[in-house]
């Protein structure tokens, strides 16, 4: 994570079109971020959720709790039918967190991203409003 990466991230999160962006707080320290962007036009009932977490906090259930919280928030505060995430296929921690919350794998996006000069696969996961309505209450 370089200073240029940090500068780009700050510009992204202060974008006036950004719908929702939350710091992930652990003990009063911002250790990550979770946010969403609601689509427009034909995608206006769909939102993408994204997140990142500082490496020293991985494996503690923090992202799972953040995903549960934002999923409940999305389906109570907005009129949406679908929330989706597209993590890298090799990011098993992210995939497990999505699955624990109830996101369903929809497919593999082969060779769909380039990071550090490496072409990578991503996976599509979604959670529908009907999933949320039929689920037991989501507790952190």
pLDDT in tens, 91-104: 999 999 999 999 99
Question: In whole angstroms, what is the distance from residue 95 CA to residue 38 CA?
Answer: 21
Give the single-character DSSP code of 136.
Answer: P
For the record, the structure tokens of 96 come out as 């497990």
- Nearest CA to 87 out of 112, 118, 58, 59 is that of 112
pLDDT in tens, 23-64: 999 999 999 999 999 998 899 999 999 999 999 999 999 999
Domains of the chain: residue spans and CATH: 3-134 (3.40.630.30)
pLDDT in tens, 76-87: 999 999 999 999
- Does the pTM surpass 0.85? The reply is no
Dihedral sign of CA atoms 137, 68, 60, 114 in order = positive
Give the pairing type, strands 82-85 and 104-115. unpaired
pLDDT, position 58: 93
> Region 61-72: what's the mean pLDDT?
96
């Amino acid at each position: 994570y370089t200073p240029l990466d940090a500068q780009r991230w700050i510009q992204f999160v202060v974008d006036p079109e950004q719908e929702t962006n939350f710091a992930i707080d652990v003990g009063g320290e911002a250790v990550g971020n979770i946010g969403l962007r609601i689509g427009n036009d034909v995608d206006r009932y769909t939102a993408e959720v994204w997140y990142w977490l500082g490496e020293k906090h991985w494996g503690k259930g923090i992202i799972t709790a953040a995903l549960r919280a934002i999923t409940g928030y999305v389906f109570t505060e907005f009129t949406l039918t679908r929330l989706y995430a597209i993590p890298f296929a090799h990011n098993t921690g992210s995939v497990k967190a999505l699955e624990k919350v109830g996101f369903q794998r929809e497919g593999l996006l082969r060779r769909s991203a380039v990071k550090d000069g490496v072409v990578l696969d991503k996976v599509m996961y979604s959670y529908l409003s009907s999933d949320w309505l039929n689920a037991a209450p989501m507790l952190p």
